């Protein structure tokens, strides 16, 4: 189904997605109108790549991620990779990325 990759202070951690949902909607007005994709994910309890951690807690991350596109062609929609530099959206004063790590 896919993976959730976290670039952490002590290395790269990868988790297999157990569940994922995606929603698409339009946002904005006129020429500023964008496609907003919203993803919700849950991961398997056992990570694909585990890192040594300073705590004893077993992590099982889930995430909600919003991505904005100028256009979306569902005929050509396949494997895509998105990178979010900041979870806080300065323009919309909202969160575009939320990560739950326990």
CA distance 66 to 36: 7
- Sign of the C-alpha dihedral, residues 86, 62, 25, 94? negative
**Per-residue pLDDT tens for 21-78?**
988 888 777 766 788 888 899 999 888 887 776 556 667 889 898 888 888 877 876 7
pLDDT at 17 over 80: yes
Chain centroid offset of residue 28 CA: 22
Q: Express each pLDDT in 56-71 by its tens digit.
A: 666 788 989 888 888 8
User: Which residues share a beta bridge with 54?
Assistant: none
**What pTM value is reported for the model?**
0.66
User: Once rounded to an integer, what is the mean pLDDT over residues 4-27?
Assistant: 87
| Joined tokens for residue 99 | 């990560």
């Amino acid at each position: 189904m896919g993976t959730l990759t976290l670039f952490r202070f002590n290395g790269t951690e990868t988790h297999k997605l157990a569940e994922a949902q995606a929603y698409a909607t339009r946002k904005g007005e006129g020429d500023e109108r964008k496609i907003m994709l919203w993803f919700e994910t849950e991961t398997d309890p056992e990570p694909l790549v585990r890192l040594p951690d300073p705590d004893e807690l077993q992590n099982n991350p889930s995430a909600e991620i919003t991505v904005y596109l100028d256009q979306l062609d569902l005929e050509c929609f396949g494997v895509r990779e998105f990178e979010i530099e900041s979870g806080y959206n300065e323009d919309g004063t909202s969160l575009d990325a939320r990560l739950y790590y326990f």
